[in-house]
Amino acid sequence: MTTQRCHEGACGRIKLLSPRADSVYVPFSSFEPDPGRDLLSATVESLCTLGCAGRAPGTPQGQAARRLVIDGLCQAGTEPAGTDGYVQAVPGCQGANVIAQVGGHGPRSERIILVGAHYDHLGQSGGQIYWGADDNGSGVAVLLDLARRLVGRGSEVRRGVLLCAFDGEEPPFFLGPGMGSVHFVQYPTVPLERIDMMICLDIIGHALGSDETPEEIRRSILCVGAERSAGTGPLLDRVAAEARGVRVRRLDSHVVPPLSDHFAFERAGIPFLFFTCGRNEHYHMPTDIPEKLDYGKLRATSEFLADLVVVLSQRPDAPVRFLPKGREDAVTLKTLNQLIVGLPQASVRFREKSRWLQRLSREVIGGRLLSRDEQVLVGGMVLELEANLGWGFAGPDGDGR
């Protein structure tokens, strides 16, 4: 139905995720896309071929990645929703956002759920290519997979869904005017008042911890920000409880640094949910390659997110109310405790901290809020936990087991 509007008319099924004649594609041994693989792994691998290598904004590789994303969204059956077809130029990074929509059905079809994942990465430097398989090939792969799933859900989808592949998320553009999500909020293609939820996907493809880490922890994905809009937490929890193959764990946004595209929306008072598996030892390294990802977990994440978007699209409250000071301290402490208790290899010192967290949990459940100092300490625990899960247990507190 949208074939005639696809980029350069190129929307044949065979061309999806295959190298483009006009890109500088050279197969990179094991990364060569295999047509037998599923869309998620094929997308990640295609974004990590030499044609797209590094995906730096404003480079031929960034443009090749953009064409790939446009083709994927087009073939999924979405409508273009940029300022020029699927594209919204972002002059500040000499790149462009890619924006598609899936129409909603019924009386709230003018309301919008926005799903965003940045497709740029660090490019190349010092003779090294920064492939960015997890950051953020994983998020883009799920964005394309979600597009296909949501088109297939038809009239179940009751709000419009805007699918945004943002450019310019990485340094030096992060949080500046050249950041694609910042540009979108400054020059929105739809009135911002119509957006009831921004869902941000960034680094969602790896299993947490090492091979020795229990599966229950390996399969975790963090969800940040549910506490910042009225009624979102219970909806999220309900969908998360049904999820298979991925374990959604919530954290309040005040204990997590502003790490990705959701931040521009948060600043604009738009409800948001930020999903991530956190940073690991491959973060912003040339070793962030497709074979490091857990595709079973990624598939489960995409299935869960499709259900979540459908449920969020059906919620009766419109507009969804943003809560600038929303907090659920008990939920944050519960997530931290569960992760620490679930880590048999965690260091002695780290475990001692978990006893402190358990005491805090009891007090918070008893009715008091965390103080500012305690919030800072809990934020430190989150970063320490991320390091423990990502880098193994000779990690930052240095005292081994």
135 binds Zn ion (CB under 5 A): yes
Among 134, 145, 202, 303, binds Zn ion (CB under 5 A): 202
Cα 121 to Cα 62: distance, rounded to the nearest angstrom: 8
Cis peptide before 136 (omega within 30 of 0): yes
145 binds Zn ion (CB under 5 A): no
Among 136, 213, 301, 313, binds Zn ion (CB under 5 A): 136
| Binding span for Zn ion by CB under 5 A among 74-82, 195-203, 330-338, 342-350 | 195-203
| Choice between 45 and 202, CB closer to Zn ion | 202
CB of 304 to Zn ion, least distance (A): 20
45 binds Zn ion (CB under 5 A): no
| Binding span for Zn ion by CB under 5 A among 198-206, 230-238, 363-371, 379-387 | 198-206
CB of 224 to Zn ion, least distance (A): 14
Q: Output phi, psi for 151, to 5 deg.
A: -60, -40
Cα 383 to Cα 331: distance, rounded to the nearest angstrom: 17
Cis peptide before 172 (omega within 30 of 0): yes
Contacts of residue 1, Cβ cutoff 8 Å, sequence gap at least 6 = 77
Contacts of residue 261, Cβ cutoff 8 Å, sequence gap at least 6 = 116, 117, 118, 166, 169, 179, 180, 181, 200, 202
Cα 110 to Cα 105: distance, rounded to the nearest angstrom: 9
CB of 260 to Zn ion, least distance (A): 6
288 binds Zn ion (CB under 5 A): no
| Binding span for Zn ion by CB under 5 A among 196-204, 213-221, 296-304, 314-322 | 196-204
CB of 198 to Zn ion, least distance (A): 15
| Binding span for Zn ion by CB under 5 A among 135-143, 232-240, 311-319, 342-350 | 135-143
CB of 385 to Zn ion, least distance (A): 19
Which residue type sits at 392?
Answer: G
Cα 205 to Cα 224: distance, rounded to the nearest angstrom: 17
Structure tokens at 82: 């940029």
CB of 254 to Zn ion, least distance (A): 21
| Binding span for Zn ion by CB under 5 A among 43-51, 131-139, 279-287, 385-393 | 131-139
Considering only residues 316 to 335 of the shown chain, the ones binding Zn ion according to CB under 5 A are: none
Task: Report the run of H or E that residue 131 belongs to, with start and end.
Answer: none
CB of 118 to Zn ion, least distance (A): 6
**Residue count at the site for Zn ion (CB under 5 A)?**
3
* CB neighbour burial string for 51-90, b if at least 16 within 10 angstroms, e if fewer: bbbbbbbbbebbbbbbbbbbbbbbbbbbbbbbeebbbbbb
167 binds Zn ion (CB under 5 A): no
Sites of contact with Zn ion (CB under 5 A): 135-136, 202
